Amino acid sequence: MEEIPTPSKEQPHHPLDDLIRTDRIPHIWCPGCGIGTVFSACLAALKASGINLQKTVMVSGIGCSGRAAGYVKLDSFHTTHGRAIPFATGLKLANPELNIVVFSGDGDLFAIGGNHFIHAARRNMDITVICVNNLNYGMTGGQVAATTPYLAKSTTTPAGNPETPFNLPLMAYACGATYVARWTMLHIRDLTDSITEALCKKGFSFIEALSPCPVNYGRRNKQKPLDMLKLYQEKAIIKNDADPATLDIDFEKGIILGKFIDLDRPTFIENYDKIYRPSRLQENVPELNS
C-alpha cells in the first residue's frame, strides 16, 4: 500500500499561505468579521492577476482593515491614520514600476483621509484602492463614520445618525477614477474578479467591499452576525454599468453591486512626462530605481 505522507509543520496549509506572514497569525479580526474574506479575495486576485509580486506593495492606514498590511507577505506599509493614499502616491512616483494596492477602511479612506482620495482620483494616480466598508470605525469601538447609514446607531450617535452617508462609487467616479466597482464580502468570486481586473488596469481603480462588523456595528443595530450576510444576499442587485448617482446604499430597497466604471484616460505620470519630460518619453530613459 502506498504511504500517504503526513504534512510536515513547515508545509503550507492554505493555498494563500505563501502570501501571508503566517508567523503573525492568529490575526486580530473578530469572529464573524468580514475583513478576512475581503483580504483573501485580494490575495487570490494578486495571484490570479499574474502581476509581478516582487514588484507589488500593499499600503494600509490605521484600523481593523488597515491591519491587512501587517499580514501580507509582500513589501507592505502601515502608515498613519488616513495617509495610505499619499504614501502610495509617493511610492509610485519614486518607483513607477511598482504595483500598488491600498487596502484600508472606510473611516481611514473617506473620513480622515478623504481629501487624499479625491485628489489621487483626480490625478489618476496608477494605484488600486480597496475599501473595506463596514459602515463604522471598527477599531476604535464602533463610532459613526462618513459611511454610517442615516439613523443607524453607533457609540457616538446613540440616538441614531443624523447625517447622510457618502455614496462612495459616485464620489470615486466624480473625482476621476477610471475603474469603479462595488461588491460585498459574500460575493467573493465577483469581488476577486474585480480586484484582479483592477490590478491589471492602468489608472486609479476603486473597489468598495461591503463587510460586516458584527462586534461593533451589528451589535448596536440589532443585527446578529449572520443578519448582515442575509441582507447582502437578499438585497443585492447586480447591475453593471449602473449610473453612479443611483448607488446610495439602501438596505430596504436594495444595494446595487457591480462594475460601474471602466474607462481610460492618461495617468498622472503619463501626463506629467508629456509636459515635463518629453525627452524621457522618446529616449526611454531608465527608471529612477535602476
Partner 1 sequence: MLKQIEGSQAVADVVALCRPNVISAYPITPQTHIVEDLSVIVGQGKLDAEFVNVESEFSAASVVLGASAAGARTYTATSSQGLLLMAEVIYCISGMRLPIVLTCANRAISAPLSIWNDQQDSMAVRDAGWIQLFAEDNQEAADLHIQAYKIAEQTFLPVMVCMDGFILTHAFEPVDIPEQKQVDDFLPPFKPRHIVDPRWPRGIGLYADPRFYMETRYILHRAMEKSEKTIKEVSADFAKTFGRDSGGFIKTYKLKEADVAIVSMGSVVGTIKDLIDQLEEEGKKVGLLQICSYRPFPRQEIYNILKDKMNIVVLEKCISLGRGGILASDIRWSFPRAEKKDRNISSFIAGLGGRNITSDDLRYMVERVEKEPVELEFLGLKKELISDKDL
CA dist 34 → 56, 187, 228 (Å): 24, 12, 10
1 near partner 1, rule: CB under 8 A: no
Q: Rounded to the nearest whole angstrom, what is the least distance from the CB of residue 44 to ligand TPP in the complex?
A: 20
- Residue 287, contacted partner among partner 1, Mg ion, ligand SF4, none, CB below 5-8 A by kind: none
Question: Per the omega criterion (within 30 degrees of 0), is the bond before 26 cis?
Answer: yes
Cα–Cα distance between 38 and 194 in angstroms, integer? 12
Among residues 93, 123, 143, 200, the one that binds partner 1 under rule CB under 8 A = 143
Cα–Cα distance between 90 and 182 in angstroms, integer? 26
Cβ atoms of 107 and 95 within 8 Å: the answer is: no
What burial class does residue 23 get, using C-beta atoms within 10 Å of its C-beta: 0-12 exposed, 13-18 middle, 19+ buried? exposed
- Residue 35, contacted partner among Mg ion, ligand SF4, partner 1, none, CB below 5-8 A by kind: ligand SF4
126 near Mg ion, rule: CB under 5 A: no
138 near ligand SF4, rule: CB under 6 A: yes
Assign 195 to helix, strand or coil: helix
- Residue 29, contacted partner among Mg ion, partner 1, ligand SF4, none, CB below 5-8 A by kind: ligand SF4
134 near Mg ion, rule: CB under 5 A: yes
Contact residues for Mg ion (CB under 5 A)? Answer: 105-107, 134, 138
Contact residues for ligand TPP (CB under 6 A)? Answer: 62-65, 81, 105-108, 132, 134, 136-140, 145
